[in-house]
């Protein structure tokens, strides 16, 4: 009996230990099975992770595609220019969320004109709310430090005061995109977050001299939608600007030629780089807007190869006169 009892305890211990060992082996096997990767890693972005920016454009209306208003007071010229296209009610419906993408590229004060005019941005925000917008978002992915750009340009303050929500480009707001038919925008990070929530998109940009591409206007403004090491695209500036015009499908663009940066662009840095031209353009066709806008820089559309590229790609027309621009003058 004593011997038997002595055997009993080790046997129990053995069985218990064997059971635990069995569970451990099964667990190790199950985890290995769950994690088993037959193919090995595939470099690049998987197709499921790609996004496409929404199409924000609205149906065209004959004769109400582009308006050109002259005058020095932006709050008046922009109001008139939009009115000539049918009023903001045509573009923004009650309860909609509007994303505004001004050019906030540089940490530079508003008087130097390197960024969109804060008063103009605020006025567009105000008009959106007047048209019944639920919320207006103002955002950009600047070149200089984002927070500093929004602060120094005066855009954060003006837009916030007008009731807009200013969104800074956090890393988490970027996704990868591939432009259909694009050569350069392939598996590239795009600023997506704020635009995925919006119903409408309005671009606001000043007219600026740009040594590499000739001019920075509404199409070049969409460079701010790109993330990553986007500067590599300067090697083929005309193609990237044309592809940006294909990728971004805004509801409306506003091109501000009140003070045009004639030299030292796109940064400027001195008021002497600016010249008063008192012109403001609103358009649903950004190729047309830029084709007219470049005349304020004393350029012809043929001087800017990206315009004909965008025209050929169907993003708009360089022959803005064919659209019968609405013109007005505010004294």
Partner 1 sequence: MRIVTTRRISQAFFFTLFFWFCIVSTVGDKIWQLRGWPVDLFLWLDPLAAIGTALTTHTLYRPLLWALATIVLTIIFGRFFCGWLCPFGAIHQFVGYLANRKKTTAQKISLNKYRKAQSIKYFILIVLLFMAAFPSIAATLQTGLLDPIPLVSRSFNLLLLPIFDRSVNFVSVSARFYEGAWLIMALCLTAVLLNLVIPRFYCRFVCPLGALFGVISRFAVWRIGRRQGDCTDCTDCGLCEKSCEGGCEPRGKMRISECVLCFNCLDDCRGDLVSYQTTSSYAGEITNPDVSRRGFVISLASGVLAVPAIRLSNKIGANWDHRVIRPPGSLAEPEFLKRCIKCGQCMRVCPTNVIQPGGLYGGLENLWTPILNNRIGSSGCQLNCTACGQVCPTSAIRPITLDEKLGRGSFADAGPIKIGAAFFDRNRCLPWAMDKPCIVCEENCPVSPKAIYTQESFTTVRDGVLTVRKAADNFTEVEVEQTLIPGKFATGDYYCALARPSTGGLAPNNRVKIAANTESSIELSADRNIENIPAPGARIEIQVRLQKPYVDIEKCIGCGICEHECPVSGKKAIRISAVGETRSADRKLLLEPG
The helix/strand/coil state of 116 is coil
Q: Which is nearer to partner 1, 56 or 306 (CB)?
A: 306
161 vs 159: CA distance, rounded Å:
5
Exactly one of 85, 107, 128, 155 binds partner 1 (CB under 8 A); that residue is 107
The answer to whether the CB of 250 falls within 8 A of the CB of 286 is yes
The one among 139, 239, 291, 317 contacting partner 1 by CB under 8 A: 239
To partner 1, the closest distance from the beta carbon of 286 in angstroms equals 18
Contact call for residue 147 and partner 1 (CB under 8 A): yes
> Which of 102, 118, 154, 169: binder of partner 1 (CB under 8 A)?
169
Site string for partner 1, 256-295 (x = CB under 8 A): -------xx-xxxxx-xx----------------------
Helix (H) or strand (E) holding 84: helix 74-84
- Please tell me whether residue 20 binds partner 1 under the rule CB under 8 A: no
Residues 196-225 that bind partner 1 (CB under 8 A): 210-212
CA-CA distance, 326 to 250, in Å (whole number)? 20
Closest approach, Cβ 147 to partner 1, in A, equals 6
Cis peptide before 266 (omega within 30 of 0): yes
Q: At what angle do helices 74-84 and 118-130 cross, to 10 degrees?
A: 40
Q: How far is the CB of 120 from partner 1 (least distance, A)?
A: 21
Binding of partner 1 by 235 (CB under 8 A): yes
Secondary structure (DSSP) of 118-132: HHHHHHHHHHHHHTT
Is residue 31 within 8 A of residue 292, CB to CB? The reply is no
Instruction: Kindly tell me which of 37 and 171 has the beta carbon lying closer to partner 1.
Output: 171
Residue of 21, 28, 161, 232 that binds partner 1 (CB under 8 A): 232
143 belongs to the binding site for partner 1 (CB under 8 A): yes
Compare residues 116 and 152 and give the one whose CB is closer to partner 1. Answer: 152
**Gap between the Cα atoms of 31 and 273, Å rounded:** 66
**Residue 175: HSE in the Cβ half-sphere, 13 Å Cα cutoff:** 16
Q: Looking at 5-13, 16-24, 56-64, 302-310, which segment touches partner 1 (CB under 8 A)?
A: 302-310
Nearer to partner 1, 144 or 178 (CB): 144
b/e 258-278 (16+ beta carbons within 10 angstroms → b): bbbbbebbbbbeeeebbeebb
Torsion of CA 306, 328, 250, 320, to 10 degrees: -30
Query: Given the rule CB under 8 A, which residues bind partner 1?
Result: 106-109, 143-148, 151-152, 168-172, 210-212, 229, 231-232, 234-239, 263-264, 266-270, 272-273, 300, 302-303, 305-306, 308-309
């Amino acid at each position: 009996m004593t011997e038997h009892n002595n055997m009993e305890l080790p046997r129990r211990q053995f069985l218990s230990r064997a059971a635990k060992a069995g569970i451990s082996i099964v667990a190790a096997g199950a985890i290995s099975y769950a994690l088993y990767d037959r193919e090995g890693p595939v470099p690049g972005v998987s197709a499921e992770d790609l996004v496409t920016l929404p199409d924000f454009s609205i149906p065209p209306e004959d004769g109400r595609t582009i308006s050109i208003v002259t005058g020095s007071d932006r709050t008046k010229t922009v109001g008139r220019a939009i009115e000539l296209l049918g009023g903001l009610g045509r573009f923004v419906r009650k309860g909609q969320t509007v994303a505004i993408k001004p050019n906030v590229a540089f940490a530079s004060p508003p008087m130097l004109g390197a960024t969109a005019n804060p008063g103009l941005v605020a006025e567009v925000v105000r008009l959106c709310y007047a048209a019944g917008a639920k919320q207006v978002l103002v955002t950009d992915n600047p070149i200089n430090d984002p927070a500093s750009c929004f602060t120094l340009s005066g855009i954060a303050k003006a837009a916030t005061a007008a009731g807009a929500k200013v969104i800074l480009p956090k890393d988490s707001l970027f996704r990868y995109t591939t432009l259909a038919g694009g050569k350069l925008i392939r598996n590239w990070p795009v600023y997506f977050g704020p635009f995925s929530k919006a119903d409408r998109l309005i671009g606001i940009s000043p007219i600026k001299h740009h040594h590499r591409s000739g001019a920075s206007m509404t199409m070049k403004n969409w460079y701010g939608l790109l993330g990553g090491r986007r500067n590599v695209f300067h090697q083929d500036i005309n193609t990237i600007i044309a592809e940006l015009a294909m990728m971004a499908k805004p509801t409306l663009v506003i091109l501000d030629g009140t003070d045009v940066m004639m030299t030292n662009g796109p940064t400027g840095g001195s008021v002497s780089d600016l010249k008063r031209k008192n012109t403001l353009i609103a358009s649903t066709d950004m190729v047309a807007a830029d084709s007219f806008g470049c005349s304020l820089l004393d350029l012809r559309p043929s001087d800017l190869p990206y315009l004909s590229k965008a025209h050929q790609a169907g993003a708009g027309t360089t022959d803005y006169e064919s659209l019968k621009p609405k013109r007005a003058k505010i004294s």
